[in-house]
Amino acid sequence: MHDLLEVRDLAVHFPLPGRKGSVHAVDGVDLTLRRGECLGLVGESGCGKSTLALALLGLQPPTGGRVLFEGRDVGAMSRLERAGLVQMVFQDPFASLNPRQTVHDTLATPLRLHGIRGKAEVAARVEEVLRQVGLSPDQSRRLPHEFSGGQRQRVGIARALVLRPQVLVLDEPVSALDVSIRAQIINLLIDLQQSLGLAYIMISHDLGVVEHISDRVAVMYLGRIVETGQWQQIFAQPVHPYTKALIGAIPDPLKRRAAVKLSGEIPSAIHPPSGCRFHPRCPELRDACQSEPGPALHAIRPLHFVRCRRATELMAGADSCPAAADAAGPVQETIELDPP
Amino acid sequence: MRLTRANLVLGAFLIGAVVIGGVLAPWLAHTDPVMDANLMNAETAPGREFWFGTDGQGRDVYSRVLYGARTSLTVGIVSQLINSVIGVTLGVSSGYWGGWWDDWVSGLTNMMLAIPSLIFALAIMAILSPGITSLLIALGLTNWSYSCRISRAATLSLKGQGFVQAAKMLGYGDVRIMLTQILPNILGPIIVIGTLGMGGAVLAEAALSFLGLGIRPPAPSWGSMLSNAREQITTAPWVAIFPGLAIFFTVLGLNLLGDGLRDLLDPQSKARV
Amino acid sequence: MKPGGIALLEVEDLCLSVTAGGKSCDAVADLSFAIERGQIFGLVGESGCGKSITALALMGLLRRPLAWRSGKIRFKGQEIQALGPEAMRHLRGKHISMVFQEPMTALNPLATVGRQIAEMFVLHEGMGWHEAEKAAVRALAKVRVAAPDQRVKDYPHQLSGGMRQRVVIAIALACKPELLLADEPTTALDVTVQAEILELIHDLCAAQGTAVLLISHDLGVIAQSCERVAVMYAGRIVEEAGAQEVFQRPRHHYTRGLISSLPLLGARAINAANGRTKLQEIRGMVPAVTDFPAGCSFHPRCGMATQACIDRAPGLTRLEGGASVRCHHHA
């Protein structure tokens, strides 16, 4: 029994024009996705999550490794075949729709390209998918600029659904929307997942959204997954120091938690640090962390994998993450760079 | 919005006048532009009989200007169409596909931009026999580099946008993407370049005919009329003024129309507060 | 408002209009608030609520199609809403400074960051260039940039987003202004950098006694840094109180709806226990500036709306403890 989507040792390196070396955008990623599951992918800029999404969709040929859909290599499929299996919802509702194509055309053309030619059939499917995303079909003859940001994102979701894919990759689906309508779209995504049996890969820097909708979560740093597990494990008991820093940095309007400050900058992806890539910024640094080879992902609990030499140690000593517990006072870890 | 309307109205008016003049020339003209040459009337000042006066051969300048409009408009429109088709095809495809095709096209474009276009057109005219078809081919092959550059740049900026990637994911083939997703969204700059180019083509035709390599006299062409008026510029300036004004208003009208059309065609400018 | 003292900044019934297609509508109306010396004041709201336009008005940067219509802005007791460009230029940079969202576009790509900071000292404090460049190194050190003597020679594109924002803050605070306007200063930054930048702003302003007007759509960012918060919707302030109060005991239904609709960390565990996996939505869309609803502008989306809300726009109700709310049926 194959997993719905399996990623094996995926690497995407962009060669630098005119210089030696390349940008290691994605460097050895393993992932699995089961039917009906939602995997949340979190990380900051430069971690490679967007490149990973493009590779999953077949829009970015990998430099190494494979993406398998039910055992078949996605790279070997034709564009049309891939289109019926995996689709994407983009971040920017303004740039992700062709300004000169009506909503109806945007939804109908893919159907025709895939062999559904009968006018009535096409119209029926367009109407069906518009209703699924909460839009009225009689608005379908309008152009994108006549809709609000939230409505446009609904159109984007409808477009992703029109060919009945099994996997949806959602790249920051609500970040560009007004705060008061984000809940509408998140609820819509949850409903659709349940009613259509879709599997999601949700990429977001907003950990609250990821926690709310994901079954499993993977945290990426500089092209690699540093921690992955079920949502309860990651958010309530994170082990990797980067995950803890990420969760601790989220300002919460209801609790004035002290932020866990992370020092330094995200290093360049052209010359990643030796050994564990996080070591220059890690508050739990030990000498062994700098030496090659870097740590591999290993299980510290069923379904919970961490890429850290000190994982077991840290897990034993760690309390609940302040994110989930209302109870005890804030956990404060502060590392500051000494000014020169 | 008011400026757009003014541009459109004025441009349309000017071009409309030129088009009507050219199309209805047989009815609007007073004389045959080539045959009716009465040396007795040579160099007559503009007056009731000859509205724009007569030239050195006694031909009615007004009628010749009207017939000349046909030539200039044909040359302007057709050669620019050829330019745009070549330029947009090369530009969009090289921007979209990149790689060796892009390198090749960019190299060719650089080369074309380095060669003075008029000299290039002259060279082609020298190979082909003079006449309107050769003129169209020559001008059509020289100025495509501008529309190529513009459409390539516009394609590059659109390529990364979500809707182009979405189209790829939905199974659109490359050619369909270029035609339905990219091309309609880069029409604005292309139309502006096109109308400016038309103005340039009209001027180029005038220059080539002036040099004797374009439309050969006695066929009426604004450029050759200017050329022939060189000797009479002090004694009978109207022989040069009227064809000159015709060129000026035509090019001005094309530019204004282009500006207005570009603003009108951008769907997003209407939605802006 | 501290009784008996003059607030650093007082905005009174400010009304700003935007003109589109010949028609003019109010982008901001009945806006009144005050910021004390050294206070960190938060203005929170979504797109189109008028918060950024308000900041531009405070800096005298309103241009067509935006315009001041009525109301007063008093800075240190002096009215500035109608000051000429020369006088405003004297205020900007020296007394009122601004930090924007996108550091890359706020910095000149063709000048080193050192020069851009030094410019402030030369323009406003009359220093010579040599002295100013030394002051620039000190300014960079104050914003916690490592190796500042080397970083001054860098160009903006050589720095990361977080570093650029630090440079922008250094420029803004160089001449020790009394008021700093920060419009979405961390929105374009990564989450771990965001926390650092907010803390930097907080610490520097506390040390220099600079008051801050922090504008954001992110409730968490506002809650972390501000002492007092005003919530804006459709061009008006709908609620104002101390930060803790606004978030723990919101009175306006927009604020309440907003807070309950946020997917907050830790909320899922609690909600699942209550048998809820969906977020509490606010129905409808944020109105465009040309389409603000009549009466109370939030009524189409409010679960508590009555006929009164459609008929009459609510006035500002003052509550105990210095809070205020604009609602017929506030909590």
CB C26 within 8 Å of CB C69: yes
| Pair A215, A224: CB distance under 8 Å | no
Q: How far is C85 from chain B (nearest CA, A)?
A: 26
A contacts of C259 (beta carbons < 8 Å): 253-254
Task: Report the amino acid identity of residue A93.
Answer: P
Which chain A residues are within 8 Å of B180, Cβ to Cβ? 98, 101, 109
What is the per-residue DSSP string for C227-255?
SEEEEEETTEEEEEEEHHHHHHS--SHHH
Return the bridge partners of A68, or none: A6, A73
Q: Do A207 and C265 touch (CB under 8 A)?
A: yes
**Separation of alpha carbons B5 and B3, rounded Å:** 5
Determine contact: A258 vs chain C, CB below 8 A.
no
Q: Residue A326 gets which letter from DSSP?
A: S
Give chain A positions within 8 Å (CB) of C195: 249, 251, 259, 261-262
Set of chain B residues whose Cβ sits within 8 Å of the Cβ of C64: none
Interface of C with A in 154-193 (CB under 8 A): 160-163, 190-193
pLDDT at site A328: 34
Looking at chain A, how many residues does it have?
340
Residue B163 with chain A: CB contacts under 8 Å:
95-98, 101
Neighbours of B207 (CB within 10 A): 17
Q: Write out chain C residues lying below 8 Å of B273, CB-based.
A: 18, 20, 65, 288-290
pLDDT value, residue A338 = 28
Pairwise CA distance, residues A306 & A296, whole Å = 8
- Banded pLDDT at A331 (limits 50, 70, 90): very low
Give, in degrees to the nearest 5, the angle at Cα A127 between A126 and A133: 90
CB within 8 Å: A208 and C267 = yes
- What does pTM read for this prediction? 0.84
Q: What is the ipTM of this complex?
A: 0.85
> Residue C169's pLDDT band (boundaries 50, 70, 90)?
very high
Q: What is the pLDDT of residue A318?
A: 54
Taking the CB of residue B40, how many other CB atoms lie within 10 A of it? 7
Q: How far is C285 from chain A (nearest CA, A)?
A: 7
Q: Please say whether the beta carbons of C264 and A179 come within 8 A.
A: no
Q: Where are the alpha helices (DSSP H) in B31-143?
A: 61-97, 99-114, 117-127, 132-142
Low-confidence ranges of chain B (pLDDT < 50): 270-273
If we measure between CA atoms, which residue out of C183, C160, C184, C180 comes closest to residue C170?
Answer: C180
CA torsion angle B140 B141 B147 B151 (round to 10): 120
Half-sphere exposure of C282 (CA within 13 A, CB side): 24
| pLDDT tens sequence across B149-176 | 999 999 999 988 889 988 988 888 899 9
Query: What subunits touch chain A, counting only 3 or more CB pairs under 8 A?
Result: B, C
- Asked whether the beta carbons of residue A87 and residue B170 sit closer than 8 angstroms, the reply is yes
Contact check, Cβ <8 Å, C285/A150: yes
Residue ranges of E strands in chain C: 9-20, 23-35, 40-44, 66-75, 78-79, 96-99, 179-183, 211-216, 228-233, 236-242, 317-318, 324-325
A262–C192 CB contact, under 8 Å: yes
pLDDT tens, C255-294? Answer: 999 888 888 877 777 767 665 578 888 888 888 888 889 8
DSSP 8-state code for residue B233: T
What is the average per-residue pLDDT within C23-38?
A: 91
Question: A87 and B169: CB-CB below 8 Å?
Answer: yes
For the ranges B215-219, B259-263, C77-81, C175-179, the lowest mean pLDDT is seen at: B215-219
Q: Does C45 contact A at CB distance below 8 Å?
A: no
Window A:86-115, CB contacts with B under 8 Å: 86-88, 90-92, 95-101, 109-110, 113-114
Residues 224-253 of B with CB under 8 A from A: none
Residues in chain C: 331
Determine contact, residues C198/C186, Cβ cutoff 8 Å. yes
What pLDDT is recorded for position A215? Answer: 92
Residue A89: band (very low, low, confident or very high) from pLDDT cuts 50, 70, 90: very high
Chains near C (3 or more Cβ pairs under 8 Å): A, B
Contact A227, A219 (CB under 8 A): yes
What pLDDT score does B88 carry?
A: 95
| Residue A23 three-state SS | strand
